[in-house]
């Protein structure tokens, strides 16, 4: 399987998980959380596959998303990205990740939460309790991230295909 096909496959699997109904039995909240965290994990794998795609011709290969995120936060000395030999697609992703309102910043924050003891999925409120206003369900956030991810893919792939 090619890197492009693997990225596509992982995005499709995340989409399938997000489309599955949680049901309405006593296990529905746990099932919903499992589906959301499973989809989030698939999106994380898809992002790593994308990093492999855009760094195919780079020396040293592709970093995993954690290593990339750590490196993306470090200031780079010495002129523009091209002069430093950086990959334009990675610089583009770094810029996107640095914007707190972007889908990539949200995805990366949720991936960090997934690795924590708390996890990323949110427990639903109990009946009779007032839920926090403005809290977007994780599934909705992930659907938005998935749509934005898929919309950006052609532009990112065009640059790496030119190599």
The answer for residues whose C-beta is within 8 angstroms of residue 163's C-beta and 6 or more apart is 56, 57
Residue 136 — very low, low, confident or very high, per pLDDT cuts 50/70/90? confident
The answer for residues whose C-beta is within 8 angstroms of residue 159's C-beta and 6 or more apart is 54, 88, 89
- pLDDT 10s digits, 78-97: 444 443 347 788 888 999 99
The residue among 12, 55, 6, 2 whose CA lies nearest residue 146 is 12
Which range, 76-90, 92-106, 133-147, has the best average confidence (pLDDT)? 92-106
- Calpha distance 83→75 (Å, rounded): 15
Higher pLDDT residue, 129 or 107?
Answer: 107
Alpha-carbon torsion (84, 85, 88, 94), positive or negative: negative
């Amino acid at each position: 399987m090619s890197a492009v096909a693997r990225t596509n496959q992982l995005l499709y699997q995340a989409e399938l998980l997000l489309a599955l109904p949680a049901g309405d039995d006593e296990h529905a909240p746990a099932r919903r959380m499992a589906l959301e965290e499973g989809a989030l994990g698939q999106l994380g794998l898809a992002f790593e596959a994308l990093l492999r795609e855009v760094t195919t011709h780079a020396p040293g290969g592709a970093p995993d998303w954690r290593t990339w995120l750590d490196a993306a936060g470090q200031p780079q000395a010495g002129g523009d990205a091209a002069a430093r030999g950086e990959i334009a697609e990675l610089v583009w992703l770094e810029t996107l990740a640095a914007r707190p309102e972007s889908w990539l910043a949200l995805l990366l924050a949720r991936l960090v939460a997934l690795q924590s003891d708390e996890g990323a999925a949110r427990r639903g409120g109990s009946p009779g309790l007032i839920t926090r206003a403005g809290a977007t369900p994780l599934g909705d956030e992930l659907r938005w991230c998935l749509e934005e991810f898929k919309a950006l893919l052609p532009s990112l792939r065009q640059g790496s295909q030119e190599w």
